[in-house]
Structure 1
Amino acid sequence: MEKYFNVNLEFDKFVVDDVIGSCIKNNKPGYVCSVESNNLSVANVNNEFLEVLNGAVVNICDGSMLATILGFIHKKPFKPYIGADLFINYVRSGKYKQYFLGNTHKVLSGLRKELSKIDPKIANMPFVELPFRSVDEFDYKSIAADINNYRPDIIWVSLGAPKQEFFMNRLLPFLERGVMFGFGAIFNFYSGVGSVKRAPAWMRRLKLEWLYRAIEEPKKNIPRYLRFIKLLPRLIKEEKKKRKNRC
């Protein structure tokens, strides 16, 4: 991975999958962060969160516009690895022992039902709701004990950013194996319940998924996008300077 906008990012999907596969094969616990405008913005104003992101075994670029901006700066054909796509690809592979953690009972129940249609084995995998509390208040040792007893290959974590990234970082020392993925609203996308849906395919093709999310949840997402836009000129200036120094 290389640093872009101060955060480690891997744009090669094959490298991402190889890193994840190697961790699973070698029983090495770790976590993967899905980096988009929101947590990128937080990381560039919060050093503790920046360290959390850069402590991941690998990070994916979960934003078409972010990939486009960085590709323009570095003159490379960067493409995103959208978290929702990675999630469903790994589910469809049918070869991983998975543990689903976080979100609500209603969403988890819907998710189990929908994913079991893809892979019937998922019906018997753990779907575990967490109590609503701050990241400092979780009993990480107890949570890890249940996970370690099941010994999953993959642990999907849905708590929303940046909470889920802090959560994974703090849970990591207690895990014996398993790769955690902090994927937020993706549980909602594939659960078949609630109002939070993924953008239609035509908007994804036009790199407008961010616009759909803004319209879908304006109070939540518009302030996030505005914070990123405000921060972007400084990030671009610094990134161009780093690129020039490397040349």
Structure 2
Amino acid sequence: MTKYFNINYEMDRAEVHRAIERKVKKDKADYICVADGVILNIANRKPEYLKVVNGGMFAICDSSYVPLYLRWIYGRHYEQYCGSQIFIDIVRCRKYRMIFMGTSQNTLDGLKENLKKENPEVEGMQFVELPYKAVEDFDYEGIAKEIEADEADIIWIALGAPKQEIFMSKLKPHLKRGVMIAVGAAFKFYSGTDVKRAPQWMIKCHLEFVHRIFKEPKKQLKRCSMILLTLPQLLVEETMRKHKKENDME
């Protein structure tokens, strides 16, 4: 795990999965944030949210641009590990009992049908629609009891950022075990009933954000404008941190 842009990232995919397995075996509760450009932006503008993002096990790098920035600044080669990818990787591995929480029942129904093709054991797992309300108003104790009764190892949360990360931080104290992972739009991508992910050629060319702008223009344009406003400062500050580390080592 390494801190970049003030976020505790785990960039090694194999270590991400080893850490999840260790946590599940220890019967301890924790969470993982899937940090895209939106989370990076909000976390660096709001200190309390940054504490939430760094309050779990670590964040994985959902942004395709952060690895490019780190290559420019540090000369290090990292890869994106997006929420939809870790989601399907864990579903396909068939190692864990899971519970899926958030979004609409229609999306959850479609998600279940599609995931059964990847992992037949999904048939016996719960897909729980969470009520639409402020993050402070959820019955966290009741939700925790439902998860504990299910004996889920992995708790998938899809409420959208920054709500889903705050939700996990508030639920964690009530859980005895399980790893929560907030995957945002992954439920929609794999449900077959909602927004689809960008084609592979757009993903490889770092143009997934363009696809999402066309699908949700009002929401995504606002997010992109905020990222562009704060990005120059983030790049300057990270470059300065690099030089400071180098000077301290001399």
| 1:192-218 C-alpha deviation (Å, 9 max, x unpaired) | 102x11011121222221221122211
Equivalent residues in 2 for 1:121-132, closer than 5 Å: 121-132=121-132
Which residues of structure 2 form unaligned runs of 5+? none
Q: In structure 1, give the amino acid aligned to 2:35.
A: V
Q: Which residue of 2 aligns with 1:168?
A: 168
Q: Which residue of 1 aligns with 2:12?
A: 12
1:163 offset after TM fit, Å?
0.1
Distance in 2, matches of 1:157 and 1:145, equals 16
Distance in 1, matches of 2:14 and 2:214, equals 33
Distance in 1, matches of 2:63 and 2:44, equals 17
Q: Which residue of 2 aligns with 1:226?
A: 225
Q: Provide TM-score, normalisation by structure 1.
A: 0.97
1:70 offset after TM fit, Å?
2.1
For structure 1, which segment, 181-190 or 210-219, has the greater mean C-alpha deviation from structure 2 after superposition?
210-219
> Percent identity between the aligned chains?
42
Distance in 2, matches of 1:118 and 1:36, equals 25
Alignment RMSD: 0.9
| 1:19-47 C-alpha deviation (Å, 9 max, x unpaired) | 11111111111101000110111111111
Q: Provide TM-score, normalisation by structure 2.
A: 0.96
Equivalent residues in 2 for 1:56-95, closer than 5 Å: 56-95=56-95
Distance in 2, matches of 1:27 and 1:210, equals 37
Q: Which residue of 1 aligns with 2:238?
A: 239
1:55 offset after TM fit, Å?
0.7
**Is 2:27 the counterpart of 1:27?**
yes
Q: Is the 8 A contact 1:108 1:191 kept in 2?
A: yes
3-state DSSP of counterpart to 1:155? strand
| 1:147-184 C-alpha deviation (Å, 9 max, x unpaired) | 01111110000000000000000000011111000111
Which residues of structure 1 form unaligned runs of 5+? none
Distance in 2, matches of 1:238 and 1:205, equals 27
Q: How many pairs were matched up?
A: 246
Q: Is the 8 A contact 1:19 1:58 kept in 2?
A: no
1:56 offset after TM fit, Å?
1.4
For structure 1, which segment, 133-142 or 22-31, has the greater mean C-alpha deviation from structure 2 after superposition?
22-31
Q: Is the 8 A contact 2:141 2:174 kept in 1?
A: yes
Q: Which residue of 2 aligns with 1:140?
A: 140
